[in-house]
A = this chain, B = another copy of it.
Amino acid sequence: MNIPDTATADKTISINALKISCSACSMHQLCLPMGLEDADIDRLDKIIGKRRRLERDEPLYKMGEPFRNLYAVRFGHFKTYQINVAGEAQITGFQMAGELLGMDAISGDRHHCDAVALEDSEVCEIPFAHLEDLFGHVPTLLRHFHRIMSREITREQNVMLLLGNMRAEQRFAVFLVNLSARYAARGYSPTRFQLRMSREDIGNYLGLTIESISRLLSRFKKLGLVHVDKREVELLEPARLKAMAAGTEQCSPMA
């Protein structure tokens, strides 16, 4: 998997250090080093473990595995899901570049869910024990880490709201608008993007079936809200979609 650096280790240290510098990473304004001064970024760089590449469908970690690292997505997309005794899964989130994986494992010392790459992707390994050591020396980092964990809590609360009392159409609008905002924050088009996950994954995440997702897409298409070709999506009426997501507007029944 990883290029062995046995004899050349000494020579490549500086190169590797450069290679995995957070400041050189395009995601450093969204990711863990956000808001850090250069000196502190250097300290963070020193503890960041190796990068890890994953291909489509490859697991980053599995439920029950001992917890050692958090992971920051460098590029690509992931999904996290829990499996119950019956073998059914519930997808708990989709993660993209700059987002952190594994925080649910801190309590319990074991991973609490599975994380799988949706496409060829790369992550930074962040040894959590070292990160904890660093917290004592870089309060800004600690503050930001707490914000990230807190944001994960609010994100999940929003999903609870979605699953608990939204109709299918609103759920799907929320999903699209959320993706749009996250791509926008990364400098991508908020109106044109690719769905990295299957219809089945979307349905599972939203508490719906694949057929429902398919029908919703067809309906949104017919209403001129979106343009869809395979997994390529264009939001034609972002304002109306946002209104649907907020619950202030609803489109016609199934017809």
Cα A146 to Cα B164 with chains together (Å): 27
How far is the CB of A131 from the nearest CB of chain B, in Å? Answer: 10
Within 8 A of B (CB), among A32-86: 82, 84-86
A238 lies within 8 A of chain B by Cβ:
no
Q: Which residue from chain B places its CB closest to the CB of A88 in the assembled complex?
A: B165
How far is the CB of A223 from the nearest CB of chain B, in Å? Answer: 21
A92 lies within 8 A of chain B by Cβ:
yes
Say yes or no: A85-B248 contact (C-beta < 8 A), given A107-B147, A132-B139.
Answer: yes
Cα A94 to Cα B182 with chains together (Å): 30
Within 8 A of B (CB), among A125-180: 132, 135-136, 139, 142-143, 146-154, 156-161, 163-165
Q: Are B92 and A150 touching (Cβ within 8 A)?
A: no
Q: Are A153 and B153 touching (Cβ within 8 A)?
A: yes
Residues of A participating in the B interface, judged by any CB pair closer than 8 Å: 82, 84-86, 88, 90, 92, 103-108, 112-113, 132, 135-136, 139, 142-143, 146-154, 156-161, 163-165, 204-205, 207, 246-248
